[in-house]
Every structure is written in C-alpha cells, then in structure tokens.
Amino acid sequence: MNTVQYICTIMNKKEIQEQRVKGYFITATKDLLKSDGLKSVSVRNIADRAGYSFATLYNYFKDVKDLVFLCVKDFREECREYVESRTMAITPGNKRLKAIILAYMEYFIQYPGIFDLFFAEKLSDISGKGDTSALITSLLDELCAADWDYCIDMRMLTSREAGLKKAALLYGSTGLLTLYLNRRHPGSYDAFLKQATHFIDSQLKS
C-alpha cells in the first residue's frame, strides 16, 4: 500500500467516524423533536440522548440550529413517504390532489414539533448551505407535481391556472396549520378537518 492509498484510508476512516457521530446527534435530535417537540430540544438533552457531553456537539456542528435544520431533509423524506404510501392507489387528478394535501397536513398534525421546525423556527444566518427554505417550500409542490401535470395534460387546467392554485394551496395549508397548531383555530380536530376539506375543495373547483 503506497502513501497516497494510506492517506486516503486514513481520511476515509476519519470521514466515516465523523459521519457516524454526526448521525448519533441527528438521530437524537429527531427523536426528541418527534416525541417532545421543538421546545424540549436543547443542547444538553440532545447530547444526553446521543451519549456524549453537550460540549462534544460543538465539534461536529457549528451551533444547535445547524444541527436542528439538518433534520429537515430526513423529515421531508419521511413526509413524502407518508403521503405517497397513502395516496398512490388513488386515481390521478383532483381526487388525488385533495388526498395528497390532506395527508400532508395530517403528517404535521401528528408531529407538531416538525411543523414548528419547518415553518416557525427562525433560520439562523443567511447561508443555509443547500437552502433549507427551498427544501421546505418545495415539498408540497413536489408531492402534487404529477397530478398537476395530469390535469394540464387532460386540458382541465391551463399551466397558469395550475400555478395560481399551487400557490394558493401552499399558502392556505400553511396558514390553516399555523392557526390550528398555534391558536387552536378551529377549536377541534373535527372542525379543522372540515375547514381543510372545504378549503381544498373550493381551491380545486373550476
């Protein structure tokens, strides 16, 4: 084994170990977020769960927000799978669009801490690497993409109309979830579901 191979092995080993430890912290953060919500996510809680000292966290992440926002990617994927598994059997078009948006909301109702992370927690600095913001706002569009295309192909909608409806449904679902999770409006889950259904129906109509 020559020197270059040797150095590569070393770097690989370091890289692998670093990713492993990072993973422990990320898993701990995700568990905490799902079970106890964003408010109980603290440096010391995370480190305890990961089996390290709180100071160790700062050798792998620049601050706690950096770590917390790294969870977005995994939750985004989880939400995508949650929605897809529940809607792939439905006939394409308006019917499936409605089911997708309802399942999307259902996911956040189930994990309010993830909603807080996605939509309420302030981003730290401007950087944000792969732009977490775009990752969040593009999720619903991505879930609905095939069905919007289907509607456009079937001449049920123009591309322009679809664009307007896409935006309205993103804003509306974000707002409805914000109001329900933070302001208890509407007052009960039944009332929320009713409002959500009415809203989606009215947006998909015509």
> Which residues of the chain form contacts with DNA (CB under 7 A)?
10, 13-14, 17-18, 21, 41-45, 52-56, 58-59, 63-65
> Would you count residue 183 as binding a copy of itself (CB under 8 A)?
yes
Beta carbon of residue 190, minimum distance to a copy of itself (angstroms, whole number): 16
Q: Which is nearer to DNA, 19 or 133 (CB)?
A: 19
What gap in Å lies between CA 185 and CA 115, rounded to an integer? Answer: 16
Among a copy of itself, DNA, none, residue 160 binds (CB under 5-8 Å by kind): none
Alpha-carbon torsion 89, 93, 95, 97, what sign?
positive
Beta carbon of residue 162, minimum distance to a copy of itself (angstroms, whole number): 12
Both tokens of 11, joined, read 């770097």
Q: Which of 199, 197, 90, 73 is nearest to 146 (CA)?
A: 90
Both tokens of 10, joined, read 């070393």
> Would you count residue 70 as binding a copy of itself (CB under 8 A)?
no
Whole-Å CA distances, 175 to 77, 97, 126, 163, 188: 22, 18, 24, 18, 16
Binders in 120-159 for a copy of itself, by CB under 8 A:
120-123, 133-134, 136-137
Q: Which is nearer to a copy of itself, 99 or 112 (CB)?
A: 112
> Would you count residue 203 as binding a copy of itself (CB under 8 A)?
yes
DSSP 22: H
DSSP string, 124-136: -SS--TTTHHHHH
Q: Which is nearer to a copy of itself, 20 or 160 (CB)?
A: 160
What gap in Å lies between CA 182 and CA 42, rounded to an integer? Answer: 21
Among a copy of itself, DNA, none, residue 65 binds (CB under 5-8 Å by kind): DNA
Name the residues that contact a copy of itself, by CB under 8 A.
39, 119-123, 133-134, 136-137, 164, 167-168, 170-176, 178-179, 182-185, 195, 198-199, 202-203, 206
